[in-house]
Amino acid sequence: MYDVIVVGSGAAGMTAALCTAGNGLRTLVVEKAEHFGGSTARSGGGIWVPNNHVVAAAGQQDSPEQAAAYLEHIAGDVPADLREAFLDAGPAMLAFVCAHTPLKFRWVRDYADYYPEAPGGRPRGRSVEPLPFNTKLLGEEIKDLEPPYVPTPAGIVITQTDYRWLTLIGRHPRGMVTAAKVFARRFLPGRRLTMGQALAAGLRAGLKALNVEVRLNTAMTDLHFENGRVAGIVAGDKLITANHVVLASGGFEHNEQLRKQHQDIGTEWTVGATANTGDGIEAGLRAGGTLGLMDEAWWGPSVPLPRGPYFLLAERSLPGCVLVDSTGRRFVNEAAPYIDVVKAMSGKTWLVFDHAYRSRYPFCGVPPRRPLPRRWRDVVLTAPSLEELAQEADLPELSDTVRRFNTLAVDGDDTDFHRGDSAYDRYYGDPRNHPNPNLAPLMTGPFYAVKIVPGDLGTKGGLRTDTRARVLREDGSVIEGLYAAGNTMASVMGHTYAGAGATLGPAMTFGYLAGLDISGGMR
């Protein structure tokens, strides 16, 4: 008999467990997969929490009023009490994690909120990321960590802060300096982890210090009820009883039936952890819970490479490329927040760029000036001239589109879609490209057209909860003993995306709120 069972070992679940175990409650974490960490371990590891102590220590000023105005503007459809609960508890959550794990964080300098010009938005950002984590702090259990989304050569670890400048090697002095720093980490004593790998490992180290078991290969198949309240879980043929259950088992991005039902899309373009098949959401629904935002995901334009989808982050912001629809027309600011780019997509989409772009910038992990792999030939089309590319890709309006775009790029003013106007756009731009870091004409062959699909980092719809992360019925009443956090919960971000780490920040905060409620409000 446990006091608390947490279903799922991502950041939401481990934060909840850290809180309950830290307050003296007997806590068990069960994980369906053979590794712990889930989508957290595959992520960039950024945490978006306004008014946190890490950003304040870096000399940046924020205020509850600014943060509240920002969320009201971009996520006003989310109940105000949920938004307020996140903003109020987020800073305390981050301080709690710092106090109870080996994790240390730093401000991701100048990574703007995704809508920095909105009321309360911050052009210099609110996101933090974990510092490189020494695996010796976790010991043998490091072998059970979910692998990263994009493997890197042995000993090479890259932070979010590094990534921005590594796209500009050869274009900016900080690119070479950053590359040297990344290379130098190989010679530090002990193996280092960064981004989501560091976050997941650090949270697990905190649980290990509290003797919390994370039981792998243990899939919850249903919830157990006694006397009208949740009293444990069923895992296969085993009943595990507890006074409280926290569902933090991720979203439903790998559940074909749910995706077709709610989103009319399949599972092949997500980068979420493969174990995320909506088990917690379906169990909560059977228990009487109600759902929200099931049509939503943490969308992002992606390249459907043979090895799996590649989530496009910096590439579409760099000068010398355009996104076009099935006719060859531009339809969006290419550098806009990735969730907005996908929402603007309709049907077949292509990213088009020229030889100058390919010579200057990495693309999908391939360094500049290197040929793109031949095995990508079903995804990447190339031709000596723009007219031939338009014919090959069946993009009748492409030549006219590029002529118009080139005129705007030379002037540095995208009057059609305002690319480069926002501080968010410019973060992944090329500061040495003038007059606009995001705009350059497409002039030099060969030209490339790359297929783009509506990918995602995971789904964001799930069980509706109150401000204490308790799962709600349709009538607004609470299902006693049942909590939800992370992508198992209908997101406090609603239909939008506040900034880098607006997945993990709320996930951890509502995990923390669940832990506080179960523990009787102790911090």
In a domain, 275, yes or no: no
Q: Looking up tokens 């832990």, which residue turns up?
A: 515
Q: How confident is the model at residue 521 (pLDDT cuts 50, 70, 90)?
A: low
Residues 6+ apart with CB under 8 A from 404: 416
- Domain of residue 163: give its range: 156-190
| pLDDT for residue 170 | 87
Q: CA angle, 231 as apex, 227 and 232 as ends, to 5°?
A: 150
Q: How confident is the model at residue 523 (pLDDT cuts 50, 70, 90)?
A: very low
Q: How confident is the model at residue 190 (pLDDT cuts 50, 70, 90)?
A: confident
Arithmetic mean of pLDDT, 182-206: 93
In a domain, 169, yes or no: yes
Domain boundary pick from 430, 456, 482: 456
- What sections of 238-302 are H helices per DSSP? 256-263, 279-286
* Structure-block tokens of residue 439: 């705009």
Tens of pLDDT, residue by residue over 283-340, are 999 999 999 999 999 999 999 999 999 999 999 999 999 999 999 999 999 999 999 9
171 and 312, same domain (yes or no): no
Domain boundary pick from 411, 431, 456: 456
| pLDDT for residue 303 | 98
pLDDT cut 90: percent of the chain above it: 95
Arithmetic mean of pLDDT, 99-120: 98
Does the pLDDT at position 498 exceed 50?
Answer: yes
Q: Which residues, listed in sequence order, are joined to residue 450 by a DSSP beta bridge?
A: 351, 380
Q: How confident is the model at residue 149 (pLDDT cuts 50, 70, 90)?
A: confident
| pLDDT for residue 76 | 96
316 and 438, same domain (yes or no): yes
Tens of pLDDT, residue by residue over 436-484, are 999 999 999 999 999 999 999 999 999 999 999 999 999 999 999 999 9
Domain boundary pick from 456, 490, 518: 456
| pLDDT for residue 154 | 72
In a domain, 335, yes or no: yes
Q: How far is CA 523 from CA 12, 22, 55, 90, 100, in A?
A: 17, 9, 22, 13, 11
Strands 478-484 and 470-472: antiparallel
* Structure-block tokens of residue 359: 């010579």
| pLDDT for residue 156 | 86
Answer yes or no: pTM beyond 0.85: yes
In a domain, 293, yes or no: no
In a domain, 343, yes or no: yes
| pLDDT for residue 150 | 81
Q: Looking up tokens 């109150």, which residue turns up?
A: 466
Arithmetic mean of pLDDT, 110-133: 98
Does the pLDDT at position 522 exceed 70?
Answer: no
172 and 305, same domain (yes or no): no
| pLDDT for residue 126 | 98
| pLDDT for residue 61 | 93
- Specify the number of domains making up the chain: 2
Output 522 or 320, whichever has higher pLDDT. 320
In a domain, 393, yes or no: yes
Output 207 or 153, whichever has higher pLDDT. 207
Does the pLDDT at position 400 exceed 60?
Answer: yes
Residues 6+ apart with CB under 8 A from 61: none
Output 491 or 183, whichever has higher pLDDT. 491
Q: How confident is the model at residue 379 (pLDDT cuts 50, 70, 90)?
A: very high
308 and 434, same domain (yes or no): yes
* Structure-block tokens of residue 103: 């994790």
In a domain, 391, yes or no: yes
CATH code for position 451: 3.90.700.10
In a domain, 428, yes or no: yes
Residue among 220, 231, 474, 441 at smallest CA distance from 352: 441
